[in-house]
Amino acid sequence: MDDNKSEVPLTGITVKKEEDFSEWYTELLNKAELADIRYNVKGFIVYREWATITIRKMFKKTEDLLEKKGHLPLTMPSLIPESNFLLEAQHVEGFAPEVFWVTEAGSSGKLPERLALRPTSETALYKMYALWLRSYKDLPFKRYLSCQVWRYEGKMTRPFFRGREFHWIESHNVFATMEDAMKQVKEDMDSTYQILQDECCIPIIFFQRPEWDKFAGAVHTYAADALMGSGKVLQLPSTHLLGQNFAKPFQVKFVDNDGEEKYAYQTCYGPAQSRNYGAMIAYLGDDKGLVLPFDLAPVQIVIVPIFFKGKEKLVLDKASEVFKQLEEKYVVKIDDRDESVGSKFYYWELRGVPIRIEIGPKDIQKKQFVVVKRHDGQKFIIKETELVKRIDEIAQNYTNEIKKKSLVDFESQIELVYEKDSAIQAINNGKIVACGFCSIDFDGEKCAEVVEKEIGAFVRGKRVDEEKHEFANCLICGKPAGCTVYIARAY
């Protein structure tokens, strides 16, 4: 992090989030120096230091959780031979339009076979799984990669939300039965709640995606939608029940305990940490800038010395003393730059540092400090002898406090509708629509197109947890409802 003189203006964010989210988000990215879009390959974005530190912390928490649940890490090549890629028909049809192809190398010129720059790793990994797996004793086989993937995104790119290169974890798992595979899907959903709701304070709900919107090659896809407010959602991690759709073409087989060779059942799961980060800063941020959960903040505590002429050394010495008391447990920084106090406050508020400690000559004289929490602005006068204890209490409760005020009840976001005009009105009023739908199989795709064109929203799918609402007829075609679906605008 740069200790040189800041160029951030005193005004901080100049646009209110509720009035113009798009401009607010752009200002946040620029003024907090989170990303730079000026890299000269379209759709490829530079993640700056402050964002990168938090994203690394998110990777670590997710990796630790996966390993706790029995996954082991792998490192795989980023290039996939076209012959691998073509083995699963639905998969290649789904991803081919988005693939970057490598066709030449060095002075040798054209390659004998095109190589795909990894859009996702199924077609690379499962060739290896066919070599590694032999017996039912090898199962379950749970592995993950922390890597980058590349997709030629045709829509307008936006830092963290949508790009042509993104940073994620993907887990790929093999089981003896479909039942075991489905248990893994449920475990993936539970892991997503643990990371996104408990650690990142983002409210989410899982839907089974419609057949026309599932992962290419999957039996079913289950995706987390973040509830971003104003009736909008953002797709975050999804987990896919693959069944034997990849096992058969890639020959992922095992000898069962009855001596018979059988095809395995598979799942895959892809938490995109760059996208999760974008959702977190967009959802939690306020008109001052970032709000970050305590564990994910690059700097957790900033000490701001308040200088008066002739008292500089006194104040700096006390700041250093406090720094030494806290540095073993927390990421702490002393801001001793030649800047006004107000400018320093704006600078660290913009960057979402959870705790600010202010130290001036009068504080030292009174043997006390001013401590300010970022997420709610609450200010405390704390005695010097109680500082460490009180900081520990604030730090321990900080993320839970954010979570309590940020996690919305899904039921409060929805409106039950029975007619298309009512759905249009509800969507325009910032609600998520619950309605009857003929089917989320391909039979319902034409009705979904009507939803998109005439209502201006998308069918997100069937709720995965307990469904509380039933409808007699499909909102669009009027046929008997095969299920209840949720319709929302999406980022």
Domains annotated for the chain, with CATH where assigned, are: 21-284 (3.30.930.10), 299-396 (3.40.50.800), 413-490 (3.30.110.30)
Quick check: 488 pLDDT over 60? yes
SS3 (DSSP) at 208: strand
Name the E strands within 185-255.
204-208, 220-229, 232-243, 253-255
DSSP letters, 286-308, are BTTB----GGG-SSSEEEEE---
Quick check: 4 pLDDT over 50? no
Q: Identify the pLDDT of residue 2.
A: 40
Quick check: 120 pLDDT over 80? yes
The model's confidence at residue 88, banded by pLDDT at 50, 70 and 90, is confident
How far is it, in rounded angstroms, from Cα 281 to Cα 73?
28
Quick check: 85 pLDDT over 90? no
The model's confidence at residue 150, banded by pLDDT at 50, 70 and 90, is very high
Rounded to the nearest 10 degrees, the angle between the axes of helix 387-406 and helix 312-326 is 70
List Cβ<8 Å contacts ≥24 apart for 36-40.
Answer: 37/159
Q: Identify the pLDDT of residue 11.
A: 56
Instruction: List the single range of 73-87, 95-109, 362-376 with lowest mean pLDDT.
Output: 95-109
Strand-pair category, 109-117 with 332-334: unpaired
Q: Identify the pLDDT of residue 21.
A: 92
How far is it, in rounded angstroms, from Cα 11 to Cα 30?
14
How far is it, in rounded angstroms, from Cα 468 to Cα 470?
7
Q: Identify the pLDDT of residue 3.
A: 41
Question: For residue 181, what are its two tokens?
Answer: 């595979």
Q: Is the peptide bond before 354 cis (omega within 30 degrees of 0)?
A: no
Quick check: 10 pLDDT over 70? no
* Helix ranges, 255-371 (H): 273-284, 312-326, 341-350, 361-366
How far is it, in rounded angstroms, from Cα 106 to Cα 123?
25
pLDDT in tens, 228-254: 988 899 999 999 999 999 999 999 999
The model's confidence at residue 75, banded by pLDDT at 50, 70 and 90, is very high
The model's confidence at residue 304, banded by pLDDT at 50, 70 and 90, is very high
With residues binned 3-state (H G I as helix, E B as strand, rest as coil), the percentages for the chain, rounded to 5, are: 40, 30, 35
pLDDT in tens, 346-385: 999 999 999 999 999 999 999 999 999 999 999 999 999 9
